[in-house]
Structure 1
Amino acid sequence: MEDPFILYSSLNTTSLPTALNPMNNSTVTDLMTNATVKPFSVFDGCEENVSGILFDLSVQTFNVFLGLPANILVMVILLRNRKEPSSSDIFLGCLAFMDAYFGIMVPFSYLNLYYWHSKDVWSALMFSFGVKDTSGPLFLSCICLDRFVAVLFPLSYGQLKDTKYRVSLSAVVLGLTFTYASAKTIGGLHNFEKVFTGTILATFGWMVLCNGAILVALKRSRGSGKDDMHPMKKKAFKMVMSVLSIIVFNYLPPVALFPFQDHYPLDTFRCLVQPVGYAFINISSSIQPIIYLSRLEKIPFLPEAWNKWGSSSKVKEKEVKVETISPA
């Protein structure tokens, strides 16, 4: 069978009869259309180099078996504690919901890559990727902002403790997230990858600056010669350390790689560098809920032995600390 691109060329160079019947005209039009339209592929132009995409997908598998149940557990715990919520619970809840949604979509990625090859499913997956790209950094930035105001501006924090402020901020973040995800699904926007690069650089810089200021403030608030810290400040310190660990592990690699997009060959960036960078971000759907659960003294719905093991390890840490600071 003749290649349609060769056939299209021959149609342009060969003199055709002046009188063509309607059937022939229709056939020529169909051939020209088929020759110029790029066929759909679930690998999106990376058919020759799928290693980066498969690496990202294999990392996402952890989100199904580890991240999804952990995020559901986080949401259940937050709902149970809604009568006595923490100020950042709404941000944590939104983040857990988005991560759970992203984890649910992973099996559809496998099915569409190897069985369905559906453009509609691919569009739905692109939307979920867009949600993950922006919801994580933005909601983590909101958590950092909440802790930043609480530690450095406690009087203003008391005036802004009403839930409506956090609901409004969450609505803005969700609006930005769904707008970005919709644009990513539609595709075809010039230099759209740089929108995410700018977003991740801005949020990364904000979170590092914010958490650094909080750590300095907490360190200064300690009395000279005292190792005790106020319970609220200790809670803020643990939150800051958790967010910093997520920032360094999950967001530093793309921050280090994506700004140099123009220095990579286009196919190398799209098919290798970008998927590997996204893999570090995507695994945060498992790391974030695990870190949150590890900070709890007791985790509901888990076997009592697990809670005893966790509480005993914390008691040992306290005993070691007491022995360290006690006089000889």
Structure 2
Amino acid sequence: MEKNITSTTVPTQILLNITAAVNATEKPFSVFDGCETLMEGVLFDLTLQCFNTIVGIPANLLVIAILIKNRKEPSTSDIFLGCLAAMDAYFGIVLPLSLLNLYHWHSKGVWSTIKFSYGVKDTSGPLFLSCICLDRFMAVVFPVAFGQLKDIKYRLSLSLLVFCLTFAYSAAKTVGGLPNFEKVFTGEILATFTWMIMCNGTILWSLKKSPGVGKDEMHPMKKRAFKIVLSILCIIIFNYLPPVALFPFEDHYTPDVFRCYVQPVGFAFLNISSTIQPLIYLSRLEKVPFLPESCVKKYCSCLSAENNKSPPAPNPPE
């Protein structure tokens, strides 16, 4: 009798497990993924991503068009800028998909596609910015070696390596379930942040060593390089410092707080760089092609007024 009870209990337990699995599968998928009661951080990230769709996509497409137009007289960093703009424009498409999946589709398959896009943004932005910093670092600090490495094949090879790393990371992020996978991004962002700060700090220090009493006596090419590097440094600090400051202290937060608040807010600052980067690039141009002159003047009126002011007095000698 006891043997019969045992033989019927095991199949019943298996049936209950299968039923529970089916019910779990049929449950509508939520993009918030356990943060249904702590949605503020995710909504903050989605709000900032609105700028990536409304402003970032057109700005990045305009950057790509300008780079193609100037391909006969390219800068050595143009290939990195073009790849970065293409990845940022691709990432801008994520918001409409996220909103549709959030309120209508509830599809786990679509969410996997969105996670892949997030992986692309997590990796491509820091790595391509690091390539731009490396290019500028070599040009300013090691000009002789830079002259020997100006062939485009070196930059194409480096870009291909970045794409391979980006897609490998994105695929792993999409699959999920890898132990301590979040620490891969934390290590990457810390390494690239440190590298970019070191490169840009060295470049600015080298450019400031020009002959004369102040920056106003720099060579025009050095002035231009100084402004470019300074703008990149501002992007790095504003967009990458929050995740660098927050993510290494994951163990100090509860899992729900880190997943629902700390991560979305840190990624929000990282994601908005898809709009800030092309706008800063366009603001450095003397003339923006493909746009009406009146529109450009209206947009740059503040900058023009600042530039038309009398130059400041030179800095005192150090």
Q: CA deviation at 1:50?
A: 1.6
Q: Which residue of 2 aligns with 1:4?
A: none
Match of 2:188 among 199, 209, 214: 199
Task: Provide the rounded CA distance (Å) in 1 between the counterparts of 2:6 and 2:275.
Answer: 67
Q: Are 1:297 and 1:311, in contact at CA under 8 Å, matched by a contact in 2?
A: no
| Correspondence 1:151-300 to 2 at 5 A | 151-224=140-213, 227-300=216-289
> Normalising to structure 2: TM-score of the pair?
0.90
- Is the alpha carbon distance of 1:284 and 1:71 closer, same or farther for their aligned partners in structure 2, counting shifts above 3 Å? same
Query: Which amino acid in 2 is paired with 1:54?
Result: L
Task: Provide the rounded CA distance (Å) in 2 between the counterparts of 1:226 and 1:109.
Answer: 47
Q: CA deviation at 1:56?
A: 0.6
Q: Are 2:235 and 2:276, in contact at CA under 8 Å, matched by a contact in 1?
A: yes
Q: Are 1:297 and 1:310, in contact at CA under 8 Å, matched by a contact in 2?
A: no
Q: CA deviation at 1:85?
A: 0.6
SS at match of 1:221: coil
Match of 2:95 among 106, 130, 138: 106
Q: CA deviation at 1:220?
A: 0.5
Task: Provide the rounded CA distance (Å) in 1 between the counterparts of 2:78 and 2:185.
Answer: 26
Task: Provide the rounded CA distance (Å) in 1 between the counterparts of 2:47 and 2:99.
Answer: 10
Q: Are 1:75 and 1:93, in contact at CA under 8 Å, matched by a contact in 2?
A: yes
RMSD between superposed Cα atoms in Å: 2.3
- Is the alpha carbon distance of 1:112 and 1:314 closer, same or farther for their aligned partners in structure 2, counting shifts above 3 Å? closer
Task: Provide the rounded CA distance (Å) in 2 between the counterparts of 1:60 and 1:103.
Answer: 7
String of CA shifts for 1:71-95, please: whole Å, max 9, x gaps.
Answer: 0100111111111111100000000
Q: Does residue 1:33 correspond to 2:22, yes or no?
A: no
String of CA shifts for 1:87-111, please: whole Å, max 9, x gaps.
Answer: 1000000000000000012100000
Identity %: 65
Identify which range, 304-313 or 247-256, moves more after superposition: 304-313
- Is the alpha carbon distance of 1:138 and 1:98 closer, same or farther for their aligned partners in structure 2, counting shifts above 3 Å? same
Q: Which residue of 1 aligns with 2:57?
A: 68
Q: Are 2:208 and 2:215, in contact at CA under 8 Å, matched by a contact in 1?
A: no
Task: Provide the rounded CA distance (Å) in 2 between the counterparts of 1:49 and 1:225.
Answer: 52
Count the aligned residue pairs: 308
Q: Does residue 1:43 correspond to 2:36, yes or no?
A: no
Task: Provide the rounded CA distance (Å) in 1 between the counterparts of 2:4 and 2:278.
Answer: 67
- Is the alpha carbon distance of 1:154 and 1:120 closer, same or farther for their aligned partners in structure 2, counting shifts above 3 Å? same
Query: Which amino acid in 2 is paired with 1:196?
Result: F
Match of 1:117 among 106, 115, 137: 106
Q: Are 2:30 and 2:102, in contact at CA under 8 Å, matched by a contact in 1?
A: no
> Normalising to structure 1: TM-score of the pair?
0.87
Identify which range, 303-312 or 122-131, moves more after superposition: 303-312
Match of 2:78 among 76, 80, 89: 89
- Structure 1, unaligned runs of 5 or more: 1-13
Q: CA deviation at 1:36?
A: 5.3
Task: Provide the rounded CA distance (Å) in 1 between the counterparts of 2:132 and 2:312.
Answer: 34
String of CA shifts for 1:191-246, please: whole Å, max 9, x gaps.
Answer: 11111011001111111111000010000023246723223222211111111111
String of CA shifts for 1:283-327, please: whole Å, max 9, x gaps.
Answer: 1111000000000011112121133456776665454344746xx
- Structure 2, unaligned runs of 5 or more: none
Rg: which structure is higher? Answer: 1
